[in-house]
Amino acid sequence: MNEIIGIILAAVICWLNFVIIDTYFGLPQQPGVKGARLVGEAIKKRNGDIAGGFFQGNVLCSPDASAGTLLAAIGFLVLGIPGGIIAAFFVFIGNRLCADPGYAGTVGCLSATVLIFIFSFVGLTAEMFIVGMVIAILTVQGIDQVRASIVLGKIADKFNRHARE
Amino acid sequence: MFGLVYNAVNPGVYGFANITIGYFDIVLAYIVAIVISVLVALILRVPLLPSKPYRYSFDVSAVYPTPIIAVGILSLFLVLNYTFAYNGLLLAMIIGIFSGVFVKYFFYFVFPSPDMGEDVNE
């Protein structure tokens, strides 16, 4: 498959994977640590959404499904499916060191491994998923945090996981 | 000596104690590791599910994180191509028993649960 098309497809798949899993496991609902609350309130002060702010703060403060997807792609590139499972194990250890229960990180890592394995038959390689995940996390954290937080807040509303504040 | 190292780290050639095993055996070893770890955890009276609310619970349970630890450690052995006897089944059973015992007795010693101070779980 053409590299550019593959990277765009992989970015879309990674974005859906980590946003859906992180939202389902309640990242927008409450900040896990104080740093996540500070990020959320700073984004709300700039006319953002508080749930999207908590989401971005939680992603920043501990390895969640976003880091899980990236590390699963790297593990799959190096070692195949066992590499993705090893990545899930290490993401779990990292989660516990960051005062996070770790459900989102490990589930995201395992689901990303399954997705990369399935899409490897279509022609999407693990390298495309690494680049795609970097692009996906850039759209959430890098380009425009306020607009991204509004989009994430709408998704959280759909999943009934919006912060009650 | 370098030949020994080469043989130990390269799959498919002679290693220390390995026989290259097929995909079916690998899948079977994963299933055995998951089942044995959950069973050992249940026998040691670890609860099946974490305490409510599930998504924010730091408690260990039989379904999480016991199988994650078991398959993670088993994968480390598999990628090093160290599969031990009976096509990896014995290794899977040992790792399953180890992870059940680890979760019951040593987990909070290695990963202490954050106490409910002001910095976490506001």
Do the domain assignments include residue B120?
Answer: no
The alpha carbon of residue A39 is apart from the nearest alpha carbon of chain B, in Å, by 14
Sort A45 into a burial class: Cβ within 10 Å, 0-12 / 13-18 / 19+: exposed
Q: Which of the four pLDDT bands, split at 50, 70 and 90, describes residue B80?
A: confident
Q: Which amino acid would we find at residue B8? A: A
* pLDDT (average), residues A17-21: 92
pLDDT at A92: 93
Q: Where are the alpha helices (DSSP H) in chain B?
A: 2-9, 23-43, 66-79, 89-101, 107-110
Query: Which of B111, B118, B119 is nearest residue A96 as measured by Cβ atoms?
Result: B111
Contact between A68 and A88 (Cβ < 8 Å): yes
Count, residues in chain B: 122
Do the domain assignments include residue B8?
Answer: no
Q: Which of the four pLDDT bands, split at 50, 70 and 90, describes residue B8?
A: low
Do the domain assignments include residue B7?
Answer: no
B69: chain A residues, CB-CB within 8 Å: 89, 92
pLDDT at B120: 47
**Closest chain B CA to residue A110:** B68
Preceding peptide of B114 cis, ω within 30°: no
Distance of CA A143 to the CA centre of its chain: 16
Q: Where are the alpha helices (DSSP H) in A2-158?
A: 3-24, 34-45, 50-61, 65-79, 81-97, 103-119, 126-141, 145-158
Question: Does A67 have pLDDT greater than 50?
Answer: yes
Question: Does A57 have pLDDT greater than 80?
Answer: yes
Do the domain assignments include residue B11?
Answer: no
* Look-up of token digits 């104690």: B17
Nearest by Cα to A115 from A35, A12, A39: A12
First to last CA, chain B: 57
Do the domain assignments include residue B98?
Answer: yes
Domain with B103 in it: 21-109
Contact flag B71-A85 (C-beta cutoff 8 Å): yes
The alpha carbon of residue B114 is apart from the nearest alpha carbon of chain A, in Å, by 6
Do the domain assignments include residue B97?
Answer: yes
pLDDT at B122: 46
The answer to whether A37 contacts chain B (CB < 8 Å) is yes
Do the domain assignments include residue B122?
Answer: no
pLDDT at A87: 94
What is the C-alpha to C-alpha distance for residues B101 and B64, in angstroms, rounded to an integer?
14
Nearest by Cα to A31 from A77, A66, A64, A78: A64
Do the domain assignments include residue B27?
Answer: yes
ipTM above 0.90, yes or no: no
Residue A159 three-state SS: coil
Question: Does B98 have pLDDT greater than 80?
Answer: yes
What is the C-alpha to C-alpha distance for residues A43 and A78, in angstroms, rounded to an integer?
37
The answer to whether A89 contacts chain B (CB < 8 Å) is yes
Total number of domains in chain B: 1
pLDDT at A130: 95
Contact flag B75-A89 (C-beta cutoff 8 Å): yes
Question: Does A55 have pLDDT greater than 60?
Answer: yes
pLDDT digits (tens, 9 = 90+) for B10-67: 555 444 545 567 888 899 999 999 999 999 999 999 888 888 777 778 888 888 889 9
Query: Which of A25, A79, A97 is nearest residue B79 as measured by Cβ atoms?
Result: A79
Nearest by Cα to A99 from B47, B40, B90, B121: B121
The answer to whether A99 contacts chain B (CB < 8 Å) is yes
Contact flag B75-A86 (C-beta cutoff 8 Å): yes
- State the average pLDDT for chain B: 80
- Report the b/e string of B62-73 with b at 16+ CB within 10 A: bbbbbbbbbbbb
pLDDT at B11: 52
The alpha carbon of residue B3 is apart from the nearest alpha carbon of chain A, in Å, by 22
What is the C-alpha to C-alpha distance for residues A161 and A51, in angstroms, rounded to an integer?
8
Check residue B116 and report its DSSP letter: S
**Closest chain A CA to residue B112:** A96
